[in-house]
Amino acid sequence: MWRQVPLIGSLGTQGSPERWLVALALLGWSLIAVLSGIFGMAMCMAAGAARQDTSHLIISSVPMQIAMTLLMLPLLAGTVRYVKLRSFECRRRRSVTMTIIGYVGVWFSGNVVLTLVAWGAHAAGIIASALAVASLVLAAVWQISPAKHLALLACHRHYPLYPTGGRADASCLYQGAANGLYCFSSCGPMMLAAMLSPYPVIAMLCVFLMLCVERYERRRPRVETGYALLAAAAVTLATAYI
């Protein structure tokens, strides 16, 4: 009986969802700090992991994927509030849980794909600095494209929720997954650039702050960000070859 099996405790459905989502994000940052201490900053990211064998990749990379996914949870605060309000009181926890599963599932899968892309590029023998520059240029182009703008707008779209039963679970999963998919589409290229950066943790922090601004500014992707990414590409190029 789902009514007797709350999947997330009262912490998750009472009061303001921002608090516990931010707490989970802080846990993610703590994990990154710990993992980077254990494996070395670059080593724990995809670029670093790519230089290791498969077992090392899993050990160092999977916890990092989890941590990186947790970072994104504060961006889901509005949707969590929406799902909670739009659900019967007796199934709010379940609805919120389903939504988070959908969102986290997409982000985790996306992060794994990004890691594999980075790993594959390294395995193919592409020079790290060239990879970093290419990913920065790609992120810059994506940043100023109309498609990025649409993804940014759709990443917090709210869908009608079915009220009861399995279809209610499915509609909550869909809500979270759809938000996650658009969110990942909007942010993925920049995340890849951060992962391939020579200073991935610092880059990740910069990207995260920028995503928060973009998400809550709710206008259009900042063109300035595109220029900043191009400047970063130029600096990376200069550092590598001068």
Partner 1 sequence: MVAAQVSGVYVREDVWGLPRWDPTLLWYAKAVGEMFPKTISDSSSWRFQAAIHGYIDTDPELLALMKPGEKLPAQTVQDTYWAKCQHASWYFLPWHRGYLGYFERIVRKTIIGLGGPADWALPYWNYNGAQPQSRLMRPEFLEATLPDGTPNPLFQSIKRGPYTLTATTLGQAGDFSIGPKDVSTKWDSMANFTDALAASSLGGGKTGYHHGEGHDPDPDAMGQLEKTPHGNIHNDVGEWMGSFETAGLDPIFWLHHSNIDRLWQVWLSNDPTRTNPPDTNWQKPRGLNLPFQFLDEAGASQDCDPQDVLNTETSKFTYKYANLNVTSPTTTLVTPAKPLALMVIKAPRPASTAPKMIGASTTNIAVGAQQTVTEVAIERPPELMLAVKTPGEEETYLNIENVTGTGRLSTQYVYLNLPKGGNPENYPELYAGSLPMFGVVEASLPTDEHGGHGRTFVLDVTELVDTLKRENHWNPEMVTVSVVPKRPLAEGASLTIGRISLYTR
Contact positions toward partner 1, by CB under 8 A?
16, 77-78, 81-82, 84-89, 149-150, 153-164, 167, 182, 213, 216-220
Closest CB to partner 1 among residues 48, 188: 188
What is the DSSP code (8-state) at residue 25?
H
Amino acid identity, residue 63? P
Q: How far is the CB of 85 from partner 1 (least distance, A)?
A: 5
Closest CB to partner 1 among residues 61, 179: 179
Closest CB to partner 1 among residues 113, 167: 167
Rounded-to-integer distance, Cα 58 and Cα 37, Å = 17
3-state secondary structure of 209: helix
Instruction: Please give the structure tokens belonging to residue 52.
Output: 């290791």
Q: How far is the CB of 178 from partner 1 (least distance, A)?
A: 9
Q: How far is the CB of 22 from partner 1 (least distance, A)?
A: 14
CB 135 within 8 A of CB 198: no
Q: How far is the CB of 79 from partner 1 (least distance, A)?
A: 9
Task: Residue 163: count other Cβ atoms within 10 Å of its Cβ.
Answer: 13
Rounded-to-integer distance, Cα 11 and Cα 167, Å = 25
CB 42 within 8 A of CB 60: no
Rounded-to-integer distance, Cα 199 and Cα 176, Å = 31
Closest CB to partner 1 among residues 9, 163: 163
Q: How far is the CB of 160 from partner 1 (least distance, A)?
A: 3
Q: Which backbone phi and psi does 20 adopt, to 5 degrees?
A: -75, -25
CB 18 within 8 A of CB 77: yes
Q: Enumerate residues 6+ apart whose C-beta is below 8 A from 240.
A: 127, 129, 130, 133
Closest CB to partner 1 among residues 91, 122: 91
Q: How far is the CB of 53 from partner 1 (least distance, A)?
A: 43
Closest CB to partner 1 among residues 26, 213: 213
CA 97, 183, 156: angle at the middle one, nearest 5?
70
Q: How far is the CB of 158 from partner 1 (least distance, A)?
A: 5
Closest CB to partner 1 among residues 32, 214: 214
